[in-house]
Amino acid sequence: MKKQLFGTMETRPGKASVMMCFDEDRPDEIMLHWWGVAGQPTAAALGLRISQQGDVSEYQAIRLFSHDERGQVMEPRVDEHTRRLLLSTRASLKATRTGLRGTWLDADGPGGKISLKPLPSSGGIADIRQCGSWDEFKQWAGEVRAQGGVAFRGHGSHQFRLETSLYRSGRTRLNRYCAETLPIFHSHVEAVTNRRINLGDSVDYSVLLGLAQHHGLPTPLLDWTGSPYIAAFFGFADALENRSLRSRDNRVRVYALTREFVERFSPPIVTIPFLEPYMSFLSVSARDNPRLYAQQGRFLVSNVGNIEQFICNIERHQNVRYLMAAEVPAAFASEALGDLAFMGVTAATLFPGLDGVCRMLRHAMAFETTSLPAPGKPNDGSESSDSA
């Protein structure tokens, strides 16, 4: 079963849009979000699986969430009647080939139908430039700048998609992440750095998120940079370091987000809401985070796992262009990284400290000892068949 499903639910006031989130390590818990009913607030409910017979599971609602006038998520105070209805709510869901279908009811009687599937696809990125060389990529970078590209991200393989490390780790429930994981990380950060971090302060909160992202903790963030060449470095460095695991036709992909996207999806404060599907572009403070400063780092945060498809769906629905990309054969890794080093973009400059220096030297050693095949050049058997 997918970790995240979308669809509709019949409520008594009207049909609502819904999102259901699972965490792989807690398969008996679900978080159901619903919104879009006129006159009704956005809400979410935590449910616990109380029985399972074959492909049919029954869940009981145990907690209700809403948000206040400032948009902060909370458990609202409810009257006794509402509490009774909540604790009596049951959902019976049957697994189908593509998702879940079922019904819900409470103490007042039958409620309505629920239908859930993975995020609907309306096609991939509309604008992907296939560059035949590193020089063509540099030409693309200049063109994208003229078209308003302001944020960039590099992937070592064109087969990777825009997904957060939290989603890849098997988790989608941001309520649990904020309530359990971040507080523990926060206590350790204060102990290790000997600095006070106030989670009620937007800047401090952003510092904590940035430290989590850059030190390997799974987060609902995606790294972006203000430079297409820094993004290209990350893509080609990953392609070079993992060349034995990739196919011969592997291509590095660099994404670009437009200024219009950044302006529309940048919130006034740094937060992680989770009641509706959302994404926010964050300019996070680089305090105590020299890597973020060196990499011109920015973040995209979302509670949607398949961010790439989420953006593409918005583009097609609203007839706008937010996301572009370029692909370059990974065989140009040595040339690209050598050129980037001449520009002053190396692992040593992007990862201040000895770890970055050693990674830079590993790249230089790979240039000298590894012969990457030129695009279209057949493998003569002297190189690994997995070499990119």
DSSP 145-165: HHTTEEEEEEES-TT--S--H
The dihedrals phi and psi of 140, each to the nearest 5 degrees, come to -60, -40
Architecture of domain 4-117: Beta Barrel (2.40)
Do 289 and 207 touch, CB atoms closer than 8 A? yes
Q: Where are the domains of the chain?
A: 4-117, 128-369
Sequence-ordered list of residues with C-beta below 8 angstroms from that of 360, at least 6 positions apart, any chain: 341, 346, 347, 348
Q: Look at residue 262 in the predicted model and tell me its pLDDT.
A: 93
Separation of alpha carbons 342 and 338, rounded Å: 6
Separation of alpha carbons 206 and 18, rounded Å: 29
Q: Look at residue 383 in the predicted model and tell me its pLDDT.
A: 35
Q: Look at residue 304 in the predicted model and tell me its pLDDT.
A: 92
How many other C-beta atoms lie within 10 A of the C-beta of residue 334?
19
Q: Look at residue 158 in the predicted model and tell me its pLDDT.
A: 95
Q: Look at residue 273 in the predicted model and tell me its pLDDT.
A: 66
Low-confidence ranges of the chain (pLDDT < 50): 371-374, 377-388
3-state secondary structure 24-57: CCEEEEEEEEEECCCCCCCEEEEEEEEEEECCEE
Question: How does pLDDT run across 164-188, given as a tens digit for each residue?
Answer: 999 999 999 998 998 899 999 999 9
Q: Look at residue 248 in the predicted model and tell me its pLDDT.
A: 82
Separation of alpha carbons 97 and 141, rounded Å: 42
Q: Look at residue 378 in the predicted model and tell me its pLDDT.
A: 40
Strand partners, 129: 326
- Identify the DSSP state of 342: H
Q: Tokens for 198? A: 């106030």
Q: pTM for the complete prediction?
A: 0.85
Q: Look at residue 108 in the predicted model and tell me its pLDDT.
A: 92
Q: Look at residue 380 in the predicted model and tell me its pLDDT.
A: 39
Q: Look at residue 329 in the predicted model and tell me its pLDDT.
A: 96
